[in-house]
Amino acid sequence: MDAKYSKDILGINFPFCAEVETISPELSKRYWRDIHVVRGRTVRVCSQWVDLPRSKSRELFCRYLLSRKLADDEELSAIDSLPQPHRTSTAGPRKRAPRGRYRNSAIGNAQNLFVRNILSNIGQESFNENDWQETKAYFMNKCAYCGAETDLVIDHAIPINKAKLGEHRIGNLVPSCKGCNDRKGNRDYNEYLNGDDEKRHRIESYMDSKNYVPLGNNEQVRMILDLAHAEVSALVDRYIVIINSLFPDDPTTQDTSVPD
């Protein structure tokens, strides 16, 4: 259930298990719908982990099983030899990219990073370590969300993504304990605090003190980011066509895979 642990051990960007009540609508698509009870906690399992032979997810998971002595090499070899279940979808078969690779995840990551880069570089503001120390002092060296006096990390009160339009400015940076940083995920501070007016007002007063005005639902900015998001995919397709045109008779550039 720890995001960093899941990243280090299983190579996914979200907690492998998340309690149902902590999963925001934005994060819901990252988790399978099935609900499980694990050690008294009601959880859903992250859908970003892909159990396929020779996949990075499978490799990391096998490494984990070996390190914990939960399986040996012979057992893992037997698992790899099992036939994969036939998956069906009401949306129809997914299209594979050349060489049998699924491109959706990689392109989606590139699109999101591109948008984050744009939002992170809006304006000419700069800040340094002294600014961060002043920010922590404003919140009395406590977590802005739960008030814990512990090691603090930087958190964007409004996430930097196409949905929330947060920015990498000092007025949008607040101190957070690691637990709140992990649980908050892609929610903004208002959603995460869920009615805690005192802490919400504290964060908004801090934003005012730094002259930070959230972009909110700025439709012009959102339209520009939608365009940037689409152009990344179009650029990839353009160069795939160009490169494939150099090898018209090369069978390795042809899509000969069979849909799941």
DSSP code, position 251:
G
Alpha helix stretches (DSSP H) within the chain: 3-10, 25-28, 56-67, 73-80, 104-120, 129-138, 178-184, 189-193, 197-209, 219-246
pLDDT interval class at 208 (50, 70, 90)? very high
Residue-wise pLDDT tens digits, 51-94: 665 667 778 888 888 888 888 877 777 765 554 444 333 344 44
For residue 217, name the pLDDT band (cuts at 50, 70, 90): low
Judge contact between 239 and 181, C-beta under 8 A: no
Q: What is the pLDDT of residue 155?
A: 95
Sequence-separated (6 or more) residues with CB below 8 Å from residue 80: 53, 58
What's the pLDDT tens digit per position in 21-61? 888 887 887 888 788 888 888 998 888 766 665 667 778 88
DSSP state of 252: G
DSSP 26: H
How far is the C-alpha of 133 from the C-alpha of 44, rounded, in Å? 38
Tally of domains in the chain = 1
225-235 mean pLDDT: 84
Give domain status of residue 136, yes or no. Answer: yes
Reported for 85-93, long-range contacts at CB under 8 A and 24+ positions apart, including other chains, are: 86/260, 87/260, 93/259, 93/260
Residue 18's pLDDT is what? 92
> Averaged over 134-161, what is the pLDDT?
94
164 falls within a domain: yes
157, burial (CB in 10 Å: exposed 0-12, middle 13-18, buried 19+): buried
State the average pLDDT for the chain.
Answer: 80
Among 4-8, 93-97, 132-136, 234-238, the least confident range: 93-97
Lowest-confidence pick of 17-26, 38-47, 121-130, 237-246: 121-130
- Residue 181 within any structural domain of the chain: yes
Rounded-to-integer distance, Cα 119 and Cα 121, Å: 5
Structure tokens belonging to residue 37: 């009870």
C-alpha distances in angstroms, 45 versus 11, 26, 50? 14, 15, 12
Domain that includes residue 129, residue range: 101-246
